[in-house]
Amino acid sequence: MTDAFQNSQSQVILWLLEELDIEYNVNFFERITSGTQKNRAPPSLKETHPLGKSPQLITPEGRVIIERSAIAKYLINKYDTTGKFKINPTDSENDAIKEEELLSFGGNSLAPMIMIQMVFKYLTAGSPFFVRPLLGGIASMVNKAFLGKEIDSMMQWLEDGMKGKTYFMNTENPTLIDFMYMWYIDFALVISISDFSKYPNIKSWHDKCKDRDAWKRSLEKGNGYNMNIEM
Amino acid sequence: MTDAFQNSQSQVILWLLEELDIEYNVNFFERITSGTQKNRAPPSLKETHPLGKSPQLITPEGRVIIERSAIAKYLINKYDTTGKFKINPTDSENDAIKEEELLSFGGNSLAPMIMIQMVFKYLTAGSPFFVRPLLGGIASMVNKAFLGKEIDSMMQWLEDGMKGKTYFMNTENPTLIDFMYMWYIDFALVISISDFSKYPNIKSWHDKCKDRDAWKRSLEKGNGYNMNIEM
């Protein structure tokens, strides 16, 4: 795997910062480029947080926040004073419980399935040639019996829920869930989705997000949103 | 893997229902016990939600909520009228952002690492005898180089954050995070933690939770909280 996911989980935070149109500084940290720790986060990230993970948000008061959803919630609560990027408080269907349901679904149901699929692909590609067919066989079996169907059914549920909506919470502008799902859907596109046209509502949401000026500006300010995996 | 995790992710919802002391009905669904779909959720769960997953909460109004954190938030918001299981609104350190940070950390950072470790263990144990040493070797290598250290460092961060606290959000009673972490810590104990005494604060939190009357009652009402994995 080479340069995979370079800083990509942080990209959605840059997108949100651009949408909110606030001033910020980005400190770039390059992943380690060689040796046994190749592609891992550099030790310098530990200077600001013991876990040494990216992204980290350091507030003007010096508070260090980790985890994308916590960073996004902090930024929206603090800087979106007009409610432009918040859910509609009068929409009883797309309420805070629905928001939590989708937030958790992306991270705790969809992403783990894609991650296991990635581990199988990586294991197969990275193993010695004489066991590769065997591992490939196991991976393909697990995929057919379980993972593939599971991911299809999850994507279909998202697709059905998006019917008639521009953004996930039926708002005019993206909200927390859209910022978070940009990563999940791109992750699924790289690893799991062979035919994106099966999910036209999700595809049109994806196009709409990527067409936003703030997303484009965030790409220019980031250090590379590389979702290609070379194995 | 036999009877692993029988209904265990739902157990924490039963615990919360018992803490809230409200009336509820539990519909038990046994996992499929044989054939290619062994240990999967039964199709009957799809009658109430297209994803066919457990747990599902059906409210008196007929709304079906999935995802443990969404179910827990709904129940606490609706039924905890005295704030007994809510975070302290005057505690600026253990606030809603900290809550989101811990919630996301458990599901999006800690659990995926444990899950990958589980996949390796399962793959190794389930593979033909002539590749088992090779797969075991790969698993042990990945573990030494990456997974083991990563999980240690995550557990240590939780341990340090728990210093001087009874529950995660420094409250007198468990809150959302405690209900959610019961599963994450038990999952880690089964797969990843060889020496629980390395984390005395987390251990004492774990003991405290399991000693609560509501937890004990929930075990009696559930259909088996079996965290033993036979491979």
ipTM of the complex: 0.89
Q: Are A138 and B123 inside 8 Å of each other by CB? A: yes
CA B158 to chain centre: 15
CA dist A37 to A31, A160, B146, Å? Answer: 9, 42, 9
pLDDT in tens, B32-51: 777 766 667 777 888 899 99
* Chain-centre distance for alpha carbon B93: 24
Measured in residues, chain A has a length of 231
Q: pLDDT value at position A231?
A: 37
Contact A9, A106 (CB under 8 A): no
Cα dihedral A72, A77, A80, A83, rounded to 10, equals: 110
According to the per-residue pLDDT averaged within each range, which of B90-99, B107-116, B219-228 is highest?
B90-99
| B66-100 as b/e: b if 16+ CB within 10 A | bbbbbbbbbbbeeebeeeebbbeeeeeebbebbbb
Is there a contact between A65 and B153 if contact means CB atoms under 8 Å apart?
no
DSSP state letter for B101:
H
Substitution target from B46, B57, B69 for chain A, most A beta carbons within 10 A = B69
Query: CA–CA separation, B177 vs B162, rounded Å?
Result: 12
Rounded to whole angstroms, how far apart are CA atoms A155 and A145? 17
Smallest CA–CA distance, residue B90 to chain A, in Å, is 17
pLDDT tens track for A161-183: 999 999 999 999 999 999 999 99
The verdict on A123 touching B (C-beta cutoff 8 Å) is yes
- Residue A204's pLDDT band, with cuts at 50, 70 and 90, is very high
**% of chain A surpassing 70 pLDDT:** 90
pLDDT at B83: 97
Residues of chain A in contact with residue B145, where contact means CB-CB under 8 angstroms, are: 36
- Concatenated DSSP letters for B176-194? HHHHHHHHHHHHHHHHT-S
**B145 contacts A138? CB cut-off 8 A:** no
How many contacts does A have with B, using Cβ atoms within 8 A? 105
Chain B nearest-CA residue for A63: B93
**Top-confidence residue, B1 or A37:** A37
Both structure tokens of A110? 């969809």
Residue of A49, A97, A110, A181 to mutate when probing chain B, most B C-beta within 10 A = A97
The whole-angstrom separation of Cα A176 and Cα B207 is 36
* pTM for the model: 0.90
Of A107, A108, A157, the CB nearest to B51: A157
Q: A36 vs B127: CB contact, 8 Å cut-off?
A: no
Q: CB distance B111–A109 less than 8 Å?
A: no
State the Cα–Cα distance between residues A220 and A206, nearest whole angstrom.
19
How many Å lie between the alpha carbon of A214 and the closest alpha carbon of chain B? 24
Residue B221, token pair as written in the block: 């009402």
Rounded average pLDDT over B144-154: 87
Which has the higher per-residue pLDDT, B117 or A172?
A: A172
The residue of chain A with its CA nearest to that of B160 is A50
**Is the pLDDT at A226 greater than 70, yes or no?**
no
pLDDT the model gives residue B204? 98
Whether B107 sits inside 8 A of A107 (CB atoms) is yes
Phi and psi at B56, nearest 5°, equal -125, 140
E-assigned strand segments in B47-189? 56-58, 64-66
Least confident of A99-103, A155-159, A167-171, A189-193: A189-193
Which of B26 and B105 is assigned the larger pLDDT? B105
Nearest-Cα residue of chain B relative to residue A127: B138
> pLDDT tens digits, residue range B166-213?
999 999 999 999 999 999 999 999 999 989 999 999 999 999 999 999
What pLDDT score was predicted for residue A6?
A: 53
Report pLDDT for B59. 94
Q: Is A45 on the interface with B (CB under 8 A)?
A: no
Cβ–Cβ < 8 Å for B43, B54: no
CB contact under 8 A, B105 and A73: no
Binary contact (A100, B73; C-beta < 8 A): yes
What pLDDT is recorded for position A58? 93
Contact between B51 and A154 using a beta-carbon 8 Å cutoff: yes
Compute the distance between CA of residue A229 and CA of residue A216 in angstroms, rounded to an integer. Answer: 22
Nearest Cβ partner for B65 among A101, A128, A138: A101
The answer, yes or no, to whether residue A145 has pLDDT greater than 80, is: no
Question: Containing H/E element for B219?
Answer: helix B213-221
- The per-residue pLDDT for B227 is 59
Q: CB-based contacts of B141: which residues, under 8 Å, 6+ apart?
A: none
Contact A146, A133 (CB under 8 A): no
Helix (H, G, I), strand (E, B) or coil at B6: strand
Confidence of residue A9 (pLDDT cuts 50, 70, 90): confident
Q: Which of B53, B56, B78 is nearest to B65 (CA)?
A: B56
pLDDT of residue B87: 98
Q: For residue A123, which residues of chain B lie inside 8 Å, CB to CB?
A: 123, 138
- Does residue B169 contact residue B177 with C-beta atoms inside 8 Å? yes
SS3 state at B217: helix
| B229–A contact, CB cutoff 8 A | no
Residues within 8 A of A (CB atoms), B 144-203 only:
145-146, 153-154, 156-157, 160
Q: Which residue matches tokens 């593979």?
A: B127
Cα B62 to Cα B49, B52, B58, B72, B189, distances in angstroms: 12, 16, 6, 17, 36
Summarised one tens digit per residue, pLDDT across range B72-93 is 999 999 999 999 999 999 999 9
Q: Does B131 touch chain A (CB under 8 A)?
A: yes
